[in-house]
Structure 1
Amino acid sequence: MRLLVLGGTWFLGRAVVSDALSRGWEVTTFTRGLSGTPVPGAVAVHGDRENEADVRRLAEQGPWDAVVDTSASELTPRTVLTGAEALASKAGRYVYISTVSVYRGWPDEPLFIDSEVLDGPADADADYGRLPANHVGADTHYGKQKAGAERAVVQAFGADCASILRPGVILGPGEYVGRLPWWLSRAARGGDILAPGNPNQTIQPVDVRDVARFALNQATATGPQVHNVTAPIGRETMGGFLESCLEATGSTGRLVWAPDEHLLQYDLVQWSELPLWRTHPGVWRIDSTSGYAAGLECRPLSETVADTWAWLQRGNVPVPHQRWKKHGIAPGKEEQILAGLTG
């Protein structure tokens, strides 16, 4: 099996490459060479996906049996379309890692594989879906861009040769966003720890290694494939997650639970100041039944937590990313909210 991975040096891309090599596949990666390090055993090709000459040069390295695209999160649909068209005659299948943000109902409604997807043309530029600075309400720009990129892949390869995978939150070793690493760091610091919402609130993060494995299985699939990629609804809880953080770090910290209505008084930035906390009713109601039927398997979240802490304790450092600094509540603000619970 010959595989091309767009990306491949950090987090999901690295997990895809490592898994593919363990299967004995021949792997080529295409990156700018600016962050992360190549996985030994893969053939590294450097170039910029926004440079058509670089993409044409990449295509000359083919053919491949499949492409797995892990690096399109900040690319326009037009850029994805140009690259997919250049590779369409060089690969048999295209696996595109999308997001649940493509759904019009995200995060306010339960989501199913046939839920309505946002508009987004296959040839859209970066301004498509961008809202004016004074707009009040949900910002769907990212979702529309990813929806357009999905359509770009299908347009270039055809539905029969495309796999569209829509993960929710991805956690695990190498995470660069900072959600799980922040909670692990906070747990390790100990003391009274502000725990958001209801400990029985179900959550659905998926391990990066499980997404990688599913993406590679999809590289050998046939026919049209579109799947949500999350842990099962109801299996994991916020309480179980935070208890796993305490256990993994050996912390003596104490979780102090604050109801949603109490937290909302403090103008907290949901999803980031207390990572994974969000009051929208659909955020953890994503149905991934079709994914499970297609072979998706999700390990227990406690295993993801423990393995991520072990990865960090071995001195590993995630690739620097601007999203990292957005996560985590300031200690003073946490103390203020905790005091309000007992005052």
Structure 2
Amino acid sequence: MRLLMLGGTEFVGRAVVDAALTRGWQVTVFHRGHHEPPPGVAVLRGDRTAADGLAALGRGEWDVVVDTWTGAPSAVRDTARLLATRAQRYVYVSSRSVYRYPSAARLDEDGPLVDGSPDAGEVEYAQAKRGGELAATAVFGGRALLVRAGLILGPWENIGRLPWWLRRVARGGPVLAPGPRELALQYVDARDLAAWTLDAVERGLGGPYNLVSPAGHTTMGELLEACVRVTGADADLRWVEPERIAAAGIEPWTQLPIWLPPGELHDHLHQGDVSKAVAAGLRCRPIGETVADTWAWLQSIGGEPPQRPDRPAVGLDPETEARVLKG
């Protein structure tokens, strides 16, 4: 198989490239040159935000294009149109954020969606992802696969969520652990996303798929306890109820990455129906493996994770954590 990866040097794109190379696929990476491409790939350079940024894609044929773009949907539109006669399939890595909020628990792919346009410029995240879906589908029709991912974890993460928890636990001492301990989490390891996506391409699947683990695949307790275990830190998890966290003015998801208190937003992000993807072969590794491999990767790069410039840094400052634990 001949894969054109748009991006491919970080996180999800890197996981897709690594999985494709392992299968013996021929991989071409199209990127801006800000990071080193993985070894073993052909490289094309370009900037999708520039007037002539797609020039390097003017020639070549591929069996599949994988696109993780999050910016203006018009960039997906332009790329898809350029490749319409030279690529067999188009995979757009979208997001479950395309579902209109609030959504009921166990929402499947037929749930109500936010408005979006394939011709839009810079818009909010949900509208950007929906516009990207519409752009890919407008050109490739049933040959477009829409991978609606939720929370993504694993090695090469450049958002900072799991790396922040690992580094915080590694410092040891009392750790503010947001409860309840048994709170169910729904996520996907980037490598499991990559494996499922390439399998789906080989099977000729198209249309939308929610791609996260089944609801309850792990819990907040299991995740943080795995962090303690793999770091070997002298950390004491202090479980704090959601009410105390809210009273302290601490923001879920950003100041306490991954965590959302029970309620409407938690149901929206951690209770999706993924039966369609599971029936199509989705398999999710245990949380302990994701945590251990992410820690090993962090160690291998000196402990300082990369940070996407278009995303704010996450995490709770030590002073606020100490104040809440003391109170």
Q: Find 2:299's aligned residue among 313, 320, 327.
A: 313
Match of 2:50 in 1: 51
Q: CA deviation at 1:266?
A: 1.2
Shift of 1:108: 6.8
Asked if 2 retains the 8 angstrom alpha-carbon contact of 1:190 and 1:251, the reply is: yes
Q: Which residue type is aligned with residue 242 of structure 1?
A: L
Pair 1:67–1:52, CA change in 2 (3 A):
farther
Structure 1 residue identity aligned to 2:273: D
Q: Supply the AA of the counterpart residue of 2:94.
A: S
Q: Which runs of 5+ in 2 are unaligned?
A: none
Matched, 1:142 2:125: yes
**CA positional deviation for 1:29:** 0.7
Please tell me whether the aligned partners of residues 95 and 218 of structure 1 are also in contact (alpha carbons under 8 angstroms): no
Question: Aligned residue for 2:143?
Answer: 161
**Alpha-carbon spacing, 1:180–1:169, altered in 2? closer, same or farther (3 Å):** same
1:295 equivalent among 281, 303, 307 = 281
Map of 1:1-343 to 2, 5 A cutoff? 1-34=1-34, 36-51=35-50, 53-60=52-59, 62-70=60-68, 72-73=69-70, 75-105=71-101, 109-127=105-123, 141-158=124-141, 160-279=142-261, 280-282=265-267, 283-315=269-301, 317-322=304-309, 326-340=313-327
Give the deviation of 1:314 after TM superposition.
1.9
Amino acid at match of 2:308: H
Shift of 1:324: 6.7
Deviations 1:286-337 (A, max 9, x none): 1111111111111011100001111111235543323675211111100111
Task: Show structure 1 runs of 4+ deviating over 6 A.
Answer: none
- Separation in 2, partners of 1:235, 1:210: 14
SS at match of 2:234: coil
Report the CA distance shift for 1:194/1:297 in structure 2 as closer, same or farther (over 3 A): same
% identical aligned pairs: 43
Displacement of 1:246 after TM fit?
A: 0.1
SS of 1:174's partner is: coil
- 1:229-273 deviation per Cα after TM superposition (whole angstroms, max 9, x unaligned): 111112200000000000000022111111111111011122011
Q: Structure 2: how far apart are the matches of 1:288 and 1:98?
A: 15
Q: For residue 325 of structure 2, what is the amino acid of its counterpart?
A: L
Contact 1:5–1:68 (CA under 8 A) maintained in structure 2: yes
Are residues 115 and 194 of structure 1, via their aligned partners in 2, closer, same or farther at CA, if it must alter by over 3 Å? same
Structure-2 residue corresponding to 1:136: none
- 320-329 vs 202-211, which deviates more? 320-329
Letter in 1 for 2:130: A
Structure 2 length normalisation: TM-score? Answer: 0.94
**Which residue identity does 1:103 align to in structure 2?**
Y
Of 262-271 and 90-99, more deviation after overlay is shown by 262-271
CA contact (8 A) 1:206 1:301 kept: no
Residue 203 of structure 1: how far off its partner (Å): 0.2
Give 1:247's aligned amino acid: R
| Alpha-carbon separation, structure 1, partners of 2:171 and 2:40 | 39
RMSD, aligned CA: 1.6
TM-superposed CA distance for 1:4, in Å, is 0.5
Confirm or deny: 8 A CA contact 1:203 1:236 kept in the other structure.
yes
Deviation, structure 1 residue 109: 4.8
1:59 Cα deviation after fit: 3.3
| 1:97-149 deviation per Cα after TM superposition (whole angstroms, max 9, x unaligned) | 0001100035775432111111111212225xxxxxxxxxxxxx210111011
Q: Take 2:231 and 2:165, find their aligned partners in 1: how far apart are those partners?
A: 10
Q: Which has the higher strand share?
A: 2
Question: For residues 12-33 of structure 1, what are the alpha-carbon distances to aligned partners after superposition, in whole Å with 9 as ceiling and x for unaligned?
Answer: 1111111111111111110011
Q: Quick one: distance in 2 between partners of 1:155 and 1:332?
A: 50
- The 1:337/1:322 distance shift into structure 2, 3 A limit, reads farther
Measure, in 2, the Cα distance between the counterparts of 1:93 and 1:246: 42
Residues in 2 aligned to 1:223 and 1:254: alpha-carbon distance in whole angstroms: 46
Q: What secondary structure, in the 3-state scheme, does the structure 2 residue paired with 1:93 have?
A: strand
Distance 2:74 2:19 in 1: 30
Counterpart amino acid of residue 52 in structure 2: A
